[in-house]
Amino acid sequence: MRQASSNVTLKDIARHAGVSHQTVSFVLNGKAHLFREEMRAKVLKACEELRYRPNAAARAMRAGRCRTIGLLASTRRGKSYLPDPFVSALHDALHTRDLALMYTRVDDERLVDPAFIPWIMREQTTDGLLISYSDDFPEQLHDTVEAMQIPAIWLNAGLAHNCVGPDDLAASRLLAERLLAFGHRRIAYADWMHATTQIAGEWGHFSIARRYQGYAETMQRAGLATRLLVHVPDLADYEQRPIPVDWLEAPERPTAVLFYAWPGMAAALFSARARGLTVPADLSLTTFADEPLLVEGYGMDAMVIDYASIAERAVDMLARRIAEPGLSLPAELVPFKLDVRGSVATCPPAPPH
């Protein structure tokens, strides 16, 4: 079988198809709409018969663009969260713009080397960078990117400029307000993944504190008490501590619980069922999620991160910075999408005394 070749020229294709060199150039550079369908088909058939393969490097040199975007991530666990829905959305956003993605995981030692970022853009022929390093990232990395005017957009890093991510604070407020609208007044917030110091915002990713903050502010505005259900006050024995369920037996137990994330919700479902409680008739549950959520067969009402919009905004912002490298753009927060699955209902009446 004849191998594809980048040595075939546009003149070769034009001669083979019996058309002009300009016609071939237009058809292969996205201007096929200028010609009749039979002309376009003739050019593409000639390309197939000659096993033509575009020389991407030569095209990049002529255009001054590589049409490749770099996705830079850390090797540190938990610092570069890239769930499948976001990766898929990013590929879609790039594909519609005829852009390719180059993914690279790098340790902190290389990230803080001032020569590394220019090297990766040169060697991997990328026009700009999407940086997935959500918190506790090396300050030298940010300073290098800004000082060298590298076209870059940070993903969910909490920066004031050149950054895009989900609006955790607004989403949390909306979830709490929705529970209030259903008549709930004893609403608890459960975070069975993080230490109390993280929930207080002393360290860790900012979403941990913002999700609790949105709940707490909404409850306070309604004149209601907050209640925090936490798995572990410190991280020394996170794996050993059982998820708490004693709150289900309290005389004034919560009628609704807003979770930081879905892990731990299964324990709440099993424990409620064991005590004769049903969801949502006796206990309403809601949370945040990467995609529509089922927990042990139960559909969960959730604020779902709009990864498609985040990917679109990130690529659009990066395109603007590639066109104008010195441009600084204000950060953008993308709203969540409410996905209703039936785990929230009207607050049950209080039992008679």
pLDDT at 206: 93
Cα atoms in the Cβ-side hemisphere of radius 13 Å centred on 78:
6
Residue 67 has pLDDT above 90, yes or no: no
pTM beyond 0.75: yes
Mean pLDDT of the chain: 86
pLDDT at 2: 43
- Better-scored residue on pLDDT, 32 or 322: 322
| Strands 228-230 vs 152-155: parallel, antiparallel or unpaired | unpaired
DSSP symbol at 72: E
Highest mean pLDDT among 29-38, 57-66, 174-183: 174-183
Ranking 63-77, 127-141, 233-247, 336-350 by mean pLDDT, the lowest is 233-247
Residue with tokens 């989900």, as numbered in its chain: 166
Residue 351 CB coordination number (10 Å): 6
pLDDT at 56: 44
Domains observed in the chain: 10-54 (1.10.260.40), 68-166+307-335 (3.40.50.2300), 168-305 (3.40.50.2300)
What would the pLDDT profile of 295-310 be if each residue is shown by its tens digit? Answer: 988 899 999 999 999 9
Residue 63 has pLDDT above 60, yes or no: no
- The pLDDT-based confidence of 293 (bands split at 50, 70, 90) is very high
DSSP per residue, 80-142: S---HHHHHHHHHHHHTTT-EEEEEEE-HHHHT-TTHHHHHHHHTT-SEEEEE--SS--HHHH
Please list the residues that pair with 333 across neighbouring strands: 165
C-alpha of 270 from chain center: 30
Residue 233 has pLDDT above 90, yes or no: no
